[in-house]
Amino acid sequence: MQNLSRLLAVLVIALAMQSCQKDPVMVDPMTRVFNIKMSPNALEYVNIPVGKYFVYKVPGYTALDSVVVTNNELAMVNFPRDNSNNFPEHNVQRLRLTMTQYIQTSGGMITTEWLKGVAMPEIFNPYDSTTTADVRLRFSGTQQVIFYGAQNISGSLTMVVEGVTYTGVSKAESDNGLPISNAGYEKNTFYWAKGVGIIKRVVVNWNGATTEMNLLRHN
Protein backbone atom coordinates (compact mmCIF):
# COMPACT_ATOMS: atom_id res chain seq x y z
CA MET A 1 0.00 0.00 0.00
CA GLN A 2 2.87 2.34 0.85
CA ASN A 3 4.54 1.61 -2.50
CA LEU A 4 1.28 2.36 -4.33
CA SER A 5 1.01 5.70 -2.55
CA ARG A 6 4.55 6.59 -3.56
CA LEU A 7 3.84 5.65 -7.18
CA LEU A 8 0.71 7.81 -7.24
CA ALA A 9 2.67 10.74 -5.79
CA VAL A 10 5.32 10.41 -8.50
CA LEU A 11 2.65 10.34 -11.22
CA VAL A 12 0.95 13.44 -9.80
CA ILE A 13 4.26 15.34 -9.75
CA ALA A 14 5.11 14.26 -13.32
CA LEU A 15 1.70 15.36 -14.63
CA ALA A 16 2.03 18.69 -12.81
CA MET A 17 5.46 19.32 -14.35
CA GLN A 18 4.19 18.43 -17.80
CA SER A 19 1.26 20.82 -17.50
CA CYS A 20 3.67 23.62 -16.57
CA GLN A 21 5.79 23.18 -19.69
CA LYS A 22 5.27 25.91 -22.24
CA ASP A 23 4.89 25.33 -25.93
CA PRO A 24 8.11 26.03 -27.85
CA VAL A 25 8.34 29.55 -29.19
CA MET A 26 8.42 29.60 -32.99
CA VAL A 27 10.98 32.09 -34.31
CA ASP A 28 10.38 33.66 -37.68
CA PRO A 29 13.50 32.81 -39.79
CA MET A 30 13.24 36.22 -41.42
CA THR A 31 14.24 37.78 -38.09
CA ARG A 32 17.37 35.64 -37.76
CA VAL A 33 20.90 35.97 -39.11
CA PHE A 34 22.41 32.75 -40.49
CA ASN A 35 26.16 32.17 -40.48
CA ILE A 36 27.68 29.65 -42.88
CA LYS A 37 31.35 28.70 -42.67
CA MET A 38 33.26 26.13 -44.68
CA SER A 39 34.70 22.96 -43.22
CA PRO A 40 38.06 23.70 -41.53
CA ASN A 41 39.10 20.14 -42.37
CA ALA A 42 38.55 20.66 -46.11
CA LEU A 43 40.02 24.17 -46.04
CA GLU A 44 43.36 22.70 -44.97
CA TYR A 45 43.82 21.59 -48.58
CA VAL A 46 43.20 24.94 -50.27
CA ASN A 47 43.63 27.76 -47.75
CA ILE A 48 47.25 28.34 -48.78
CA PRO A 49 48.93 31.45 -47.31
CA VAL A 50 50.26 34.30 -49.41
CA GLY A 51 53.97 33.91 -50.09
CA LYS A 52 54.00 30.12 -50.17
CA TYR A 53 55.89 28.98 -53.23
CA PHE A 54 55.90 25.78 -55.25
CA VAL A 55 58.48 24.56 -57.75
CA TYR A 56 57.09 22.18 -60.36
CA LYS A 57 58.97 19.88 -62.68
CA VAL A 58 57.61 19.26 -66.17
CA PRO A 59 58.77 15.86 -67.48
CA GLY A 60 60.94 16.27 -70.57
CA TYR A 61 61.97 19.84 -69.75
CA THR A 62 64.98 21.08 -67.81
CA ALA A 63 63.35 24.39 -66.84
CA LEU A 64 61.28 24.43 -63.64
CA ASP A 65 58.00 26.22 -63.10
CA SER A 66 57.92 28.51 -60.06
CA VAL A 67 54.47 29.31 -58.68
CA VAL A 68 53.69 31.62 -55.74
CA VAL A 69 50.45 32.29 -53.86
CA THR A 70 49.91 36.00 -54.46
CA ASN A 71 46.41 36.42 -53.03
CA ASN A 72 44.40 34.68 -50.33
CA GLU A 73 41.19 36.21 -49.02
CA LEU A 74 39.20 34.18 -46.50
CA ALA A 75 36.37 36.38 -45.26
CA MET A 76 32.68 36.50 -44.38
CA VAL A 77 30.40 38.05 -47.01
CA ASN A 78 27.11 39.59 -45.90
CA PHE A 79 23.89 38.99 -47.83
CA PRO A 80 21.23 41.35 -46.42
CA ARG A 81 17.66 40.34 -45.76
CA ASP A 82 15.37 40.43 -48.78
CA ASN A 83 11.75 40.46 -47.63
CA SER A 84 10.35 40.38 -51.16
CA ASN A 85 11.99 36.97 -51.74
CA ASN A 86 11.65 35.65 -48.18
CA PHE A 87 15.42 35.59 -47.85
CA PRO A 88 16.81 36.20 -44.34
CA GLU A 89 20.17 37.81 -43.70
CA HIS A 90 23.18 35.53 -44.21
CA ASN A 91 26.89 35.78 -43.52
CA VAL A 92 28.71 33.33 -45.79
CA GLN A 93 32.40 32.50 -45.81
CA ARG A 94 34.29 32.94 -49.09
CA LEU A 95 37.81 32.00 -50.15
CA ARG A 96 39.60 33.69 -53.03
CA LEU A 97 42.92 32.18 -54.08
CA THR A 98 45.38 33.34 -56.74
CA MET A 99 48.59 31.56 -57.71
CA THR A 100 51.03 33.30 -60.04
CA GLN A 101 53.69 31.67 -62.21
CA TYR A 102 57.09 33.36 -62.53
CA ILE A 103 58.98 32.65 -65.75
CA GLN A 104 62.58 33.65 -66.34
CA THR A 105 63.22 34.70 -69.93
CA SER A 106 66.14 36.26 -71.77
CA GLY A 107 64.32 39.56 -71.47
CA GLY A 108 63.75 39.25 -67.73
CA MET A 109 61.12 37.82 -65.38
CA ILE A 110 57.54 37.64 -66.58
CA THR A 111 54.44 36.55 -64.66
CA THR A 112 51.26 34.77 -65.66
CA GLU A 113 48.15 33.72 -63.79
CA TRP A 114 48.54 30.03 -62.99
CA LEU A 115 45.35 29.57 -60.97
CA LYS A 116 42.57 31.85 -59.82
CA GLY A 117 39.80 30.24 -57.83
CA VAL A 118 36.92 31.04 -55.52
CA ALA A 119 34.99 28.92 -53.02
CA MET A 120 31.72 29.88 -51.37
CA PRO A 121 29.02 27.57 -49.97
CA GLU A 122 25.68 27.57 -51.72
CA ILE A 123 22.72 28.75 -49.65
CA PHE A 124 19.98 26.16 -49.43
CA ASN A 125 16.49 26.15 -47.93
CA PRO A 126 15.69 25.43 -45.10
CA TYR A 127 18.22 27.88 -43.80
CA ASP A 128 20.61 26.85 -41.09
CA SER A 129 23.87 28.02 -39.59
CA THR A 130 26.87 25.73 -39.96
CA THR A 131 30.64 25.66 -39.57
CA THR A 132 31.19 22.56 -41.71
CA ALA A 133 29.87 23.44 -45.19
CA ASP A 134 31.44 21.63 -48.14
CA VAL A 135 34.31 23.36 -49.95
CA ARG A 136 34.01 23.64 -53.74
CA LEU A 137 36.87 25.62 -55.23
CA ARG A 138 36.09 26.70 -58.79
CA PHE A 139 38.00 28.56 -61.45
CA SER A 140 36.83 32.15 -61.04
CA GLY A 141 33.92 32.99 -63.31
CA THR A 142 33.21 29.35 -64.17
CA GLN A 143 31.49 26.28 -62.74
CA GLN A 144 34.62 24.15 -63.11
CA VAL A 145 35.30 22.54 -59.73
CA ILE A 146 39.04 22.18 -59.16
CA PHE A 147 38.75 20.99 -55.55
CA TYR A 148 35.94 19.41 -53.54
CA GLY A 149 36.13 18.52 -49.88
CA ALA A 150 33.71 17.76 -47.04
CA GLN A 151 34.17 17.90 -43.27
CA ASN A 152 34.21 14.14 -42.69
CA ILE A 153 35.63 13.03 -46.05
CA SER A 154 39.37 13.32 -46.57
CA GLY A 155 41.26 12.56 -49.73
CA SER A 156 41.67 8.82 -50.24
CA LEU A 157 44.66 8.61 -52.59
CA THR A 158 48.27 7.83 -51.78
CA MET A 159 50.74 9.15 -54.36
CA VAL A 160 54.46 9.34 -54.89
CA VAL A 161 55.46 12.59 -56.62
CA GLU A 162 59.13 13.20 -57.35
CA GLY A 163 60.15 10.74 -54.65
CA VAL A 164 57.84 12.10 -51.94
CA THR A 165 54.92 10.03 -50.66
CA TYR A 166 51.69 11.92 -50.00
CA THR A 167 48.67 10.40 -48.26
CA GLY A 168 45.09 11.61 -48.06
CA VAL A 169 45.37 13.14 -51.53
CA SER A 170 42.22 14.63 -53.08
CA LYS A 171 41.72 14.54 -56.86
CA ALA A 172 39.52 16.87 -58.90
CA GLU A 173 39.18 17.13 -62.65
CA SER A 174 37.06 19.29 -64.93
CA ASP A 175 37.07 20.72 -68.44
CA ASN A 176 35.70 23.87 -70.04
CA GLY A 177 32.93 22.05 -71.91
CA LEU A 178 34.41 22.33 -75.39
CA PRO A 179 35.07 19.26 -77.56
CA ILE A 180 38.66 18.03 -77.47
CA SER A 181 38.92 18.81 -81.19
CA ASN A 182 38.32 22.51 -80.47
CA ALA A 183 41.45 24.66 -80.29
CA GLY A 184 40.19 26.21 -77.03
CA TYR A 185 39.68 22.90 -75.23
CA GLU A 186 41.24 22.56 -71.76
CA LYS A 187 40.91 19.90 -69.10
CA ASN A 188 42.57 20.22 -65.71
CA THR A 189 43.27 17.51 -63.17
CA PHE A 190 44.49 18.65 -59.75
CA TYR A 191 45.90 16.53 -56.94
CA TRP A 192 45.79 18.28 -53.55
CA ALA A 193 47.57 17.27 -50.33
CA LYS A 194 46.35 18.56 -46.97
CA GLY A 195 48.59 21.23 -45.53
CA VAL A 196 50.62 21.41 -48.74
CA GLY A 197 48.48 22.39 -51.74
CA ILE A 198 48.73 21.18 -55.33
CA ILE A 199 51.25 18.36 -55.66
CA LYS A 200 50.43 17.54 -59.28
CA ARG A 201 48.57 19.22 -62.11
CA VAL A 202 47.79 17.73 -65.51
CA VAL A 203 46.49 19.95 -68.33
CA VAL A 204 45.05 18.44 -71.50
CA ASN A 205 44.57 20.75 -74.48
CA TRP A 206 43.49 20.52 -78.10
CA ASN A 207 43.65 17.02 -79.57
CA GLY A 208 44.98 15.56 -76.34
CA ALA A 209 48.22 17.53 -75.97
CA THR A 210 49.16 16.96 -72.30
CA THR A 211 51.32 18.93 -69.87
CA GLU A 212 52.16 17.38 -66.51
CA MET A 213 53.51 19.39 -63.57
CA ASN A 214 54.91 17.55 -60.55
CA LEU A 215 55.75 19.25 -57.27
CA LEU A 216 59.51 19.18 -56.71
CA ARG A 217 59.74 21.36 -53.60
CA HIS A 218 57.91 24.02 -51.62
CA ASN A 219 58.42 26.17 -48.55
Of 99, 113, 190, give the one whose Cα is nearest residue 149: 190
- Contacts (Cβ under 8 Å, ≥6 apart) of 122: none
Q: Which amino acid is at 154?
A: S
Query: Helix (H, G, I), strand (E, B), or coil: what is residue 145?
Result: strand
Q: Mark 51-72 as b/e (b = at least 16 C-beta within 10 Å).
A: eeebbbbeeeeeeebbbbbbeb
Dihedral sign for Cα 161, 167, 172, 173, please.
positive
DSSP code per residue over 179-193: -TTSTT--EEEEEEE
Q: So what's the pLDDT on residue 20? A: 56
Domain ranges for the chain: 40-218
Q: What is the DSSP string of 18-75?
A: HHHPPPPPPPPGGG-EEEEEE-HHHHHHH-PPTT-EEEEE-TT-SSEEEEEEEEEEEE
The mean of the pLDDT values for the chain is 89
Largest CA distance in the chain: 104
Query: What is the average per-residue pLDDT within 39-46?
Result: 96
Condensed to tens digits (0 to 9), the pLDDT of residues 91-114 reads: 999 999 999 999 888 888 899 999
Write down the pTM of the prediction.
0.84
φ, ψ dihedrals at 3, nearest 5°: -65, -40
What is the length of the chain?
219
**Distance in angstroms (rounded) separating the CA atoms of residues 134 and 146:** 13
108-157: per-residue pLDDT in tens?
889 999 999 999 998 866 568 899 999 999 999 999 999 999 988 878 89
